[in-house]
Amino acid sequence: MSQQTDGMAHVTPERVSLDHRFSFRCHKGVSCFTQCCRGINIILTPYDILRLKNRLELSSEMFLSLYTEPQLLEKTDLPVVTLKMQEDEQRSCVFVREDGCLIYEDRPTCCRYYPLGVASLSHKEGADDKDFFFFIKEPHCKGFEEDTEWSVLEWRQDQGVDLRDEVNADWTDLLVRKRSFPANIKFTEKSKQLFFMGSYNIDKFRSFVFESSFLERYNIDPAEVEKIREDEVALLKFSLRWLKNTFFRGEGAPLKDASV
C-alpha cells in the first residue's frame, strides 16, 4: 500500500535528495495495513485521472463527478482535484478493501510515492520555485521498521512514478512556477477553467481540439495532429504543453498561436 497523506499534522518536511537512503517495506503482514488509506487528501495528477477513468471505463467527466472533489491548491490558487473519500468514520478511500487497494495497478501518483511526499502535490509544502521530496513519517506507519533499503531514486523506479512524472512534467512545472508568483498575481476564472479542462478533463479537451476552430488557430505539425488523435497519452501531454504555453507564453512553447 502506498499513498501520500495530506492531513499533514505530523509531517516533518525534511528535504531529501535522490540518493538519500532509507529502510521501508509495506506488505500485507504489517499491523497497520491499509491504515494509510483513510483520513487522507490525495491530489490526483492528470495522468492519474486518465488511468483511473480508463480502469473504471468512465468518461473523464463522469469520473470527475463521481470520484473527485475540487479544491484550490494553496499558494497557487489553481484548481486541483482530490480523490473523494467515503463518508464513514475514518473517511476511508473508496478503493480500499481489507486485502488492499482495489485499483492497485492504477493507484495514484501520491499513493505510489508514499512514504515520500512531493512538494508540488502538497497543500502545504513548496514555498519556493523548486519541486522536492520529503518524508511523511506518520506514527501509525510500521513500514519504517522493516529492513529493506532503498534510495529515493530506487523507490521511485520501483513504484513506477518515473513514467507518471514524465507525462505530468509540464503540469508539475506549471504548478511549481505559479506557486512562486507573488500572491497578488491571479489567474482569471476563464484561465482556471482552461487549466481544469486541460489538466483533468481529457475528453472535453479532445472535443475542444477536434470539434472547434482550435486546429485552424494553432499551427500544429500534421503528424502531431494524427498522433494526438490516436493516442490518448500523447493528447494529454500535448494538452499539458499547451496549458504551459498558454500560461507562460513563449517559454518552451511547442505551438505557434496563429491568431496572435
Q: Which residues bind ligand SF4 (CB under 6 A)?
A: 1-3, 26, 30, 32-37, 42, 93, 95-96, 101, 107-108, 111, 114, 140-143
Q: With respect to ligand SF4, which residue has the nearer C-beta, 101 or 197?
A: 101
CB of 41 to ligand SF4, least distance (A): 10
By C-beta, is 35 or 191 nearer to ligand SF4? 35
Instruction: Specify the residue, 135 or 171, whose C-beta has the smaller distance to ligand SF4.
Output: 135
> Is the Cβ of residue 107 or residue 237 nearer to ligand SF4 in the bound state?
107
Give the span between the Cα atoms of 155 and 221, in whole angstroms.
38
- Full strand arrangement of the beta sheet holding 43-44: 43-44, 78-83, 68-73
Q: How far is the CB of 145 from ligand SF4 (least distance, A)?
A: 9
Residue 212 dihedral angles phi and psi, to the nearest 5°: -135, -165
Rounded distance between C-alpha atoms, residue 124 and residue 81, angstroms: 15
Q: Find the shortest distance in angstroms from Cβ 1 to ligand SF4.
A: 4
Distance CA 122, CA 104 (A): 22
DSSP symbol at 76: T
Q: How far apart are the first and last CA of the chain?
A: 49
Cα–Cα distance between 118 and 149 in angstroms, integer? 20
Q: Which is nearer to ligand SF4, 114 or 242 (CB)?
A: 114
Cell triple for 248: 507562460
User: Smallest distance from the beta carbon of 245 to ligand SF4, in angstroms?
Assistant: 32
Q: How far is the CB of 11 from ligand SF4 (least distance, A)?
A: 14
Give CA–CA dist 47/150, Å, rounded: 25
Give min distance, CB of 116 to ligand SF4, in A.
11
Minimum CB distance to ligand SF4, residue 238 (Å): 27
- CA distances, 203 to each of 50, 54, 79, 158 (Å): 10, 11, 18, 30
Q: Which is nearer to ligand SF4, 10 or 229 (CB)?
A: 10
Burial class (CB in 10 A: 0-12, 13-18, 19+), 107: buried
Least separation in angstroms between residue 6's CB and ligand SF4 is 11
Q: Which residue lies nearer to ligand SF4 by CB, 126 or 143?
A: 143
CA angle in degrees (0–180, nearest 5) for 195-191-6: 45
List Cβ neighbours of 223 (8 Å cut-off, separation of 6 or more). Answer: none
Nearer to ligand SF4, 103 or 233 (CB): 103
